[in-house]
Chain A
Amino acid sequence: MAATTVTTVLETLPTIRAAALLQLDEGNIVQPLVTDIPFPGAGYIHETPFINHLTAEQDSDLASQAMEATMSYSAANNLETTPSSATVGINAAYILLNDIAAICSSSDLQALAGQLIGQCLVVRKDLDLVTLFASFGTDQGSTTSTAFAPADLYDAYGSLRKHFAPLPYYLVLHPTQIWNTNGLIVMLDNSSDALQSHGLGTVGEDFARYGFSGMIMGFNLFADANIPMTTASGSGAAFARSAIKCVRKRDFMLEVEREADQVGDKIVGSEMLGVAILRNNHANEMQFPNFS
């Protein structure tokens, strides 16, 4: 019988690093849903003044009617007495990409750095917008509620229509406020809390078939995981485009600067913008408990 010598070559087989997968972030959800105002050139604060409406006189004594907002109408009905002002600020993020990391990596770290910066600033912008939701004067939800009620949505719709908010209307909620045992989906699952008595209905069918419905009770539905959720609750919003303004001074820009003393490249991404509530009554806060 021939003698057999066994050897292994495992050590000669290199481990190959595949292209890296980035940790994912929420995208730019709210900005496309609000009033976009390009604001190039001079100016640091963007102000939108309000002009009070005119009421036609019913008799021959035509009293002069002020064009400016007055407390009698605005304070009581619109809360739009002071101009909406958005102050422009800088959001920036940078990476010092060492030469040794760039040369030794099997991935294109320059591109990766750009992606990291882009994601970081997109989340920052969306956060600045969603954190305004709790600043609206009307809250249809509540932390004392156990689940969504249909009235939360039609009260919000009624509130927007009452204040002449232009269509379309948007409903932006945290994903756990939509898809959860006490979330929005419960209104459409044919349970005892559902909207419809018999069968799912078309919106419920959409949820049953696709897991999502683009529109519910007059609102275009969006999920945004950037909405801050505390252990108690989180605030989404039902709003029209005119509720918030996003003032863009300078759009996203990526610069690469050689840092010779650091033996690397500094990659800087930055943008200049400001966000503010434009019309307080064209949005309702939708605060609901943290169901997760």
Chain B
Amino acid sequence: MVKEKTGTKDDMNKVNAKMSALEQENILLRQKLEENEKLSQTSPVVLSDSLMSEMKKIRQRGRVKGQAINVISKSDFKRISLWTKYGKQLGPMHPDNAMQTLNRFADLGVILTVDKPTPEQIEKYKQTPEYKKKLKWETERRAIKDKSRKSGQFDRLSAEIAKMSNSTIDMVNKILPMAEVKK
């Protein structure tokens, strides 16, 4: 708070002039502050954040759908999947086909379920003797089928020659370089 001095008229004039100058300076400073605030509001960083946010709102609320083409597919039934205990999916298929598949596999001794087994249930089933028996049968079947491949045939041939010639497989497969071949 400014305490007014009591003095001559000149002194009073000087004080008033100083007060007036200070007030003018204050006004200028406020204007500058306002200008700075305006500038900061339109600076690139703030602009990108707020602008993107507002643009997103406009897009969401505006709901312009004129240029969208959606293909909607529908059927008069819901397709059903069946699952084995070890997590194999059959289908999805028409409910009547699902019913027939359920019966067909039941005749074969395979129980299917409409509910997908959880990973825990699958893991638990894989520990059962039933699954281990199935896996053993499958592994044996694959071993027989894999014999139809050529892979491993050369090794088997080498072993057979080694046996017939009373030699070793290494000896059979060993091919001497020219320099080591005895003349």
Contact = CB atoms under 8 A, between A and B. Distances in A.
Interface in A236-286: 274-277, 280
Contacts of A87: 94-97
Contact of A193 (B77, B79, B107, B150): B150
A85 B97 CA distance: 8
Interface stretch (B31-39, B45-53, B136-144): B136-144
A151 B144 contact: yes
Interface string B94-108: 111100110111011
Interface residues of A, number: 58
Interface residues of B, number: 47
Interface in B22-66: 65-66
Interface in B147-181: 147-154
Nearest to B65: A98
Given A87-B96, A276-B97, A92 B138 contact: no
B107 A100 contact: no
Contacts of A228: 89
Contacts of B150: 192-195, 197
B72 A97 contact: no
Contacts of B96: 45, 85-87, 276
15 contacts: A82-B103, A86-B97, A95-B70, A100-B67, A101-B69, A109-B69, A117-B71, A131-B91, A137-B104, A142-B138, A149-B145, A151-B145, A192-B151, A193-B149, A277-B101
Interface of B: 65-77, 79, 88-97, 100-101, 103-105, 107-108, 135, 138-139, 141-142, 144-154
